[in-house]
Amino acid sequence: MIRLLQEADAQAYIDLRRQALLEAPLAFTASPEDDVAASVEAVREQLRQTPQSVIIGAFQDGLVGIVGLYRDRHAKASHKSHLWGMYVTPDHRQQGLGSQLLEAALRHARTLAGITWVHLGVSSAASEARRLYDRAGFRVWGAEPDALRHADQAVVEYHMALQLESADS
């Protein structure tokens, strides 16, 4: 089941997010030590920002996948939304959950009046995620070399964007 997370899901989200940061440190900018989503109250506050900011979860006997989406808060950039924090547990990969989460996020973006673009950043360490975004129609518009460093490794962050269909088309 794919659905928006609710305040009652805060602890499950924190636990899964921590797993993601530990398992794939070069795929996420945050670390367990500096993640703003490390407290139940911080996550609950984030979940109260709906519909402009949402976290979507994949559930199979608990929370096994997540992705976030938020609208740019600046008036001049409010036509853009940003996808972040995509993660599916290793035991649940190759089942289409990543695609379902991405589809749900894009569907939500289309419900936000005036949103015409979805942007994201993906690390060169997350090649499966990059392929998922490519298949969905995202295109690279830039690359940041040496974007993240961890344990004597550095990765490139690819900046990608997808233009949503206009309501007129």
Per-domain boundaries in the chain = 2-163
For the whole model, what pTM was predicted? 0.94
Question: Is the pLDDT confidence value at 36 over 90?
Answer: no
Question: Is the pLDDT confidence value at 169 over 50?
Answer: no
The topology (CATH level 3) of 2-163 is Aminopeptidase (3.40.630)
Question: Is the pLDDT confidence value at 165 over 90?
Answer: no
Give the H or E element holding residue 46. Answer: helix 40-47
Question: Is the pLDDT confidence value at 38 over 90?
Answer: no
pLDDT score recorded for residue 166: 57
The percentage of the chain sitting over the pLDDT mark of 70, rounded to a whole number, equals 98
Question: Is the pLDDT confidence value at 10 over 80?
Answer: yes
Proportion of the chain in helix, strand, coil states, percent, rounded to 5: 35, 35, 35
User: What six digits make up the tokens of 73?
Assistant: 């808060």
